[in-house]
């Protein structure tokens, strides 16, 4: 079924993007995850991936052209000839498509100002998880100040305010999923007397006590304390048992073997930041408890693959595309199910090689990570242990510093085992990784297309 390719919204204030270069030509075959084109906004230049497999057809935007957000610029079809008929995308013009966002009105009891919306960070994204607020209601903000962190299935990034002013209201709490384009905050020109903080979709809060309380107060009381009392307490809850933490805090915790669940059980408010790791280290029996807890909390998942299709796939990739490094292909298939960019270490016969899997995840762009004997390779996001051809049929090694995916031969096909701890990978991510990798190893071409 044909799939429209649209200009994604990569920032809150973005209403258009410039096509820097097409990375695929009309008629070219594409697989899901291939980089289709480069787009430039006033903030950054990035590659946009194909969300479906097929053939690139009906390209309507040329390199160097500014394209409105949401405009259809191409199509991924079932064949090299676009079979979409009269509904094929029309040519894109910058004047025919309205802006993606507009200022909020003073509807309900909300203050008047400019809305800050949940940005679209990818073509297939329909919502984002608000990880944490980096500003509090009532705070002054500058155009480039970081306002909040948002997480999608692809990445976590910090979103700027987009304009100067004051944060009048926050309309969603940390830990909530917010649809793309929905307002999450309001920024205005004047400092608010009673800034608003509410959950997504919550009813308007009652009038501030400072205005309703008839109790006498000193005439010269400064408004600052009242504003400070109106700020929300930074104690968001995890969604579905998920630990909320900044990407840097997660990375350091993973590298140092720290279990963020211990902070949550101790009652520390989420989301966690780097500074909270000091509190984690100070918890009683941190060293012994962390090691024992890591072993006890290790998750082990096993999948059976009826047929090892990787060997035939590696032969095809070598003949058709000149991809001769089987380890790089393995790393690319595994890394396609991790947040990009990522690093995958492949271990075989006592030798370990690391590979960088870039955004876009095209197998032809997976490259070895070079390191001299004096250098220590970067910490991998996943270790892939290839034991095919040996006599080992099952593993239960326990917790390690990184998630470990082991590939073993059995009587009919393959056995795949993933071992990881909760602070390295949540349950949903572990299940998705093992399921998709098993599909890749059984039928690589069908899965990629």
CA gap 187, 296 in Å, rounded: 47
Are 194 and 228 in contact, with CB atoms under 8 Å apart?
no
Paired tokens of 276: 């909270």
What are the percentages of helix, strand and coil residues in the chain, rounded to 5?
A: 20, 30, 50
Paired tokens of 236: 């968001």
Residue position matching structure tokens 């009891």? 109
pLDDT digits (tens, 9 = 90+) for 224-244: 444 444 443 333 344 444 577
Paired tokens of 157: 């990034």
Are 367 and 356 in contact, with CB atoms under 8 Å apart?
yes
Are 398 and 386 in contact, with CB atoms under 8 Å apart?
no
Q: 365: closest CA among 390, 413, 312, 328?
A: 328
Paired tokens of 166: 């004051």
pLDDT digits (tens, 9 = 90+) for 299-356: 888 999 988 888 888 888 888 888 899 999 999 888 888 887 888 999 987 788 998 8
Q: Mind listing the domains of the chain with CATH numbers?
A: 3-87 (2.40.50.100), 114-204+222-229 (2.40.50.100), 247-296 (no CATH), 299-448 (3.30.559.10)
Q: What residue ranges of the chain have pLDDT lower than 70?
A: 1, 9-15, 42-44, 82-108, 120-126, 152-156, 201-242, 246-248, 251, 285-297, 360-361, 370-378, 446-449
CA gap 260, 423 in Å, rounded: 6
């Amino acid at each position: 079924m044909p799939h429209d390719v649209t200009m994604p919204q990569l920032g809150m204030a973005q209403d258009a993007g410039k096509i820097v270069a097409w990375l695929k030509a009309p008629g070219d075959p594409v697989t899901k995850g291939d980089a289709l084109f480069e787009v430039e906004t006033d903030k950054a230049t990035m590659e946009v991936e194909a969300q479906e497999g097929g053939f690139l057809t009906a390209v309507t935007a040329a390199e160097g052209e500014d394209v409105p957000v949401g405009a259809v610029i191409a199509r991924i079809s079932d064949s090299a000839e676009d079979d979409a008929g009269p509904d094929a995308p029309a040519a894109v013009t910058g004047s025919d498509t309205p802006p993606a966002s507009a200022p909020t009105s003073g509807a309900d009891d909300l203050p008047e100002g400019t809305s800050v919306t949940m940005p679209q960070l990818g073509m297939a994204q329909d919502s984002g998880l608000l990880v944490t607020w980096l500003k509090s209601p009532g705070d002054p903000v500058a155009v480039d100040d970081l306002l909040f962190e948002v997480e999608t299935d692809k990445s976590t990034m910090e979103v700027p305010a987009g304009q100067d002013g004051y944060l009048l209201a926050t309309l969603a709490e940390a830990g909530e999923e917010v649809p793309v384009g929905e307002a999450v905050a309001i920024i205005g020109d004047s400092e608010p007397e009673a800034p608003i903080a509410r959950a997504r979709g919550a009813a308007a809060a009652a009038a501030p006590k400072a205005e309703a309380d008839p109790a006498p107060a000193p005439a010269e009381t400064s408004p600052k304390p009242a504003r400070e009392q109106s700020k929300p307490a930074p104690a968001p809850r995890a969604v579905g048992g998920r630990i909320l933490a900044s990407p840097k805090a997660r990375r350091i915790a993973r590298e140092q073997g720290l279990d963020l669940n211990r902070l949550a059980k101790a009652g520390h408010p989420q989301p966690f930041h780097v500074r909270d790791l000091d509190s984690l280290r100070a918890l009683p029996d941190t060293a012994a408890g962390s090691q024992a807890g890591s072993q006890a909390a290790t998750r082990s998942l096993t999948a059976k693959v009826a047929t090892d299709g990787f060997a035939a796939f590696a032969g095809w990739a070598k003949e058709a595309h000149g991809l001769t490094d089987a380890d790089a292909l393995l790393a690319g298939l595994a890394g396609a199910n991790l947040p990009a960019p990522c690093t995958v270490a492949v271990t075989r016969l006592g030798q370990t090689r690391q590979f960088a899997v870039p955004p876009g995840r095209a197998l032809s762009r997976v490259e070895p990570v070079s390191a001299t004997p004096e250098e220590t390779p970067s910490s991998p996001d996943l270790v892939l242990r290839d034991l095919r051809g040996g006599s080992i049929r099952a593993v239960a090694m326990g917790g390690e510093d990184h998630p470990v995916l082991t590939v073993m031969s059995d009587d009919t096909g393959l056995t795949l085992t993933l071992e990881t701890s909760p602070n390295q990978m949540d349950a949903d991510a572990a299940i998705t990784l093992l399921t998709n990798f098993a599909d890749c190893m059984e039928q690589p071409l069908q899965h990629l297309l």
